[in-house]
A = this chain, B = another copy of it.
């Protein structure tokens, strides 16, 4: 299988898939699309991802997947070790809900596409940054409450990384870009523990070949 990940070093959603691919030990090639140059809206990219969003995972043989969460769950189904979701349905739903609190309610409200739309509506840069900051702040504060209700463990849900951690780490990266006060000690402890793992370390934006 020759796998290609369509991404961008700073794309938080592509970052998630980079972590998942590495946790599963899967080799992949990178295809970069420069978001600030609007390359994600080129016709040849829209042909494989009609949303014009990153990431897309090209599995070869015409098999193409979009949406980072769907991609990560596919990888987890196809390559079960190490598992990224608990087998027990209720525990699994808790992990998914945490990942979705980020994937649905934080990231899409503060991604480049939306911030650019605010600029088109006349938002000054300070107001754009404030929008992103409050979105991430409120969202992560709710995530912190979800973590408080989770059983104690080294990672978000238990003693192994799950999709909750895979989604949390890139969101913490975005939080720093927008100067959010990271006032949630448990999240920072989890981040530190993740960053001791090569899969998480190698996936950070600064280490990607297209990093600027």
Is A69 touching B96 in the complex (CB atoms < 8 A)? yes
Which B residues lie within 8 Å of A77 (CB)?
89, 92
Are A74 and B89 neighbours in the complex by a CB distance under 8 Å? yes
CB contact under 8 A between A74 and B92, given known A97-B67, A104-B67, A114-B109: yes
User: CB distance A53 to B105 under 8 Å?
Assistant: yes
Tell me which residues from 120 to 136 in chain A have a Cβ below 8 Å from any Cβ of chain B: 121, 123, 127, 131
Q: Check B142 against A51 for contact (C-beta < 8 Å).
A: yes
Give the docked Cα–Cα distance between A66 and B98 (Å). Answer: 9
- Interface of A: prevailing SS: helix
Interface presence of A145 (CB below 8 A): yes
Does A146 touch B at the CB level, under 8 Å? yes
Query: In the assembled complex, how far is the CB of residue A15 from the closest CB belonging to chain B, in whole angstroms?
Result: 15
A100 at the A/B interface (Cβ < 8 Å)? Answer: yes
Does A65 touch B at the CB level, under 8 Å? yes
> Contacts A108-B108, A142-B50; is A78 near B89 (CB within 8 Å)?
yes
Is there an interface contact between B67 and A101, defined as CB atoms closer than 8 Å? yes
Does any Cβ of B come within 8 Å of A22's Cβ?
no
